[in-house]
Chain A
Amino acid sequence: MGELDGRVACITGGTRGIGRAIAEAFVSEGANVVITGRSVDKGKQALDEMQAGDAAHFVAGDVKDRAACEAAIEATVERYGRIDILVPNAGGSADQAPVVDMTDEAMQDALLWNFWHAFWTMRKALSYMIPQQFGRIMLMSSLEGKVGKPAISNYVVAKHAMNGLAKSAAHEVGTMGITVNALCPGGIETDTMKEFGPDAAVSMGLTYQGLLDVFAQESAIKRLNEVEDVALVAVLLASDAGAGITGSLISIDGGTSPY
């Protein structure tokens, strides 16, 4: 008997990193999950590795595209008959710079990738969750949704925006059996971090290792967080016991955030 028996989840960016860890944790608790990603090959690889049989399904799509975001939700409902849990998890940023040098494109891209994707998937998912009077939405925000770091304002802005969206939406659907929270992980060395971290580091005047060291040193644990830390909290929020937690910005950052 798992905590999430019979539940259906959609996790964007679910083939690797935090999204993958959450998908695996949800499956082990009895849920069916749809994971999304841009690469069909990575999607197949993820399903092979997960060995979840019919309990996992992959849908290709780019979260920067509204139609793809909405299609992911529709595909979940079509495949498994409903959607109970949404984790708009995909995210990141590129072309960072200090505000004085930041381009419109870099700011727009971060907002599309993180905030608009969360908004589009949430809006669609709520159209199913509200009539069924049940839902669990967990936005993948970040430590940078609560604090500001120099030279990556596009990422900081997008994550702060997601936090506001979580708070607002939570108060709209609070009496409808739907919770909406933002998870705020600290630094985790996912593939996305490895891919985009070096440029962010340069923008901040650091080496890549220096960037990772900053995350570690600012925490109480003096090391990076891990994808499993986020999955642990995600399972709790998705479970029946999570019904009383909503509109919250939950730090999973080894004691870094000041609030």
Chain B
Amino acid sequence: MNKLEGKVVCVTGGTRSIGRAMADAMLAEGAKVVVNGRDETKGQKCVEEMGGGEDVAFFAGDASKQATVEGLIDFTIDRYGQLDVCCLNSGGVQMTAPVAQMTDDEWALEVDWNLNHVFWGMRRALQHMIPRESGRIIVTSSVEGKMGKPGIPGYTTCKHAVNGLVKAAALEVGTLGITVNALLPGIIETDIVRETGPDSAVAMGLESYDAMISEYTKESAIKRPNTVEQVAAVAVMLARDEARNITGCMFPIDGGTMPY
């Protein structure tokens, strides 16, 4: 259980769902982990639950804000002396709508939360990793990074965009010991999905939250949601030294949903 011994990791949106699963899995493999979330109380609770003592810390802030994303990375390096694995994971929607009804405010939020957050984090992390010639950047994208769905145009746009950013960045730093990869999970019943799902279902023209989940799972081969643990296992693999030759990859964890 020491695949990531000595590594230092930060995770945006790391106190629950996919980010938390990644944080737990990486801690279990010997890493030190800083998790980020908006809520201070939930954050401290998360740190206690993770049970990593001095190897876990919380950095409060909203990942849709540049100061938070850059601050997380600076805090991690300050606390633990380095950053090896930057997991840019936070993302979602608040009040999604079809394009014709999409508001400026929702669009701007989604772009900041899903796309700009990844750019800000990647840039800050690379400025640290490039002189060290070592690092891992892991971006939580989605099946919506390759497919289109009605009713979530901002999320779809941003996930396509981060896929492009991952490909471009991977080519820039490929010879510098740094890999940049995207995780493309299928539907997972995370807290955020449960919270915003009912409204998203309406925006997608569906009867209910359950109907929305079925809409996603019926496209898969496995006919059920993916799990946060499945995503975390891929993240651990990509974070390892042994994965030094895997980069620019759109790694699927989608039960066969995507057509390519």
With a 10 A CB-CB cut-off, give which of A219, A236, A245 has the most chain B CB atoms. A245
Please determine whether B174 and A222 come into contact, CB atoms closer than 8 angstroms: yes
CA distance A134 to B163 in the complex (A): 32
CA distance A223 to B246 in the complex (A): 12
B residues within 8 A CB of A232?
237, 240, 242-243, 246
Please determine whether B248 and A248 come into contact, CB atoms closer than 8 angstroms: no
Encode A69-105 as 1/0 by CB contact (under 8 A) with B.
0000000000000000000000000000000000000
CA distance A259 to B249 in the complex (A): 8
CA distance A174 to B254 in the complex (A): 12
Please determine whether A250 and B245 come into contact, CB atoms closer than 8 angstroms: no
Known: A220-B171, A232-B242, A254-B246. A239 touches B256 (CB 8 A): no
Interface residues of A toward B: which range? Answer: 35 or more
Q: Is A150 an interface residue (CB 8 A)?
A: no
**Nearest chain A CB to B251 CB, angstrom units:** 7
**Nearest chain B CB to A46 CB, angstrom units:** 22
A residues within 8 A CB of B256?
167, 170-171, 174, 246-248
Q: Is B186 an interface residue (CB 8 A)?
A: yes
Known: A170-B256, A174-B255. A222 touches B227 (CB 8 A): no
B residues within 8 A CB of A236?
233-234, 237
| Number of B positions contacting A (CB below 8 A) | 38
Please determine whether B245 and A249 come into contact, CB atoms closer than 8 angstroms: no
Known: A220-B174, A232-B243, A244-B253. A171 touches B230 (CB 8 A): no
B residues within 8 A CB of A167?
256
Interfacial residues of chain B within 150-198, with CB under 8 A of chain A in the complex? 167, 170-171, 173-175, 186
Q: Is A243 an interface residue (CB 8 A)?
A: yes
**Nearest chain B CB to A92 CB, angstrom units:** 21
Please determine whether A175 and B233 come into contact, CB atoms closer than 8 angstroms: no
Q: Is A157 an interface residue (CB 8 A)?
A: no
Q: Is A228 an interface residue (CB 8 A)?
A: yes
Q: Is A233 an interface residue (CB 8 A)?
A: yes
CA distance A2 to B255 in the complex (A): 24
Nearest-CB residue, chain A, relative to B175:
A222
User: Which B residues lie at the A interface, using CB under 8 A?
Assistant: 167, 170-171, 173-175, 186, 220-223, 226-227, 229-230, 232-234, 237, 240, 242-258, 260
28 contacts between A and B (CB under 8 A): A167-B256, A170-B256, A171-B221, A171-B256, A174-B221, A174-B222, A174-B255, A174-B256, A220-B174, A220-B247, A233-B237, A233-B246, A241-B229, A241-B234, A242-B230, A242-B233, A243-B230, A244-B254, A245-B230, A245-B252, A246-B255, A246-B256, A248-B258, A251-B248, A251-B249, A254-B174, A254-B247, A255-B248
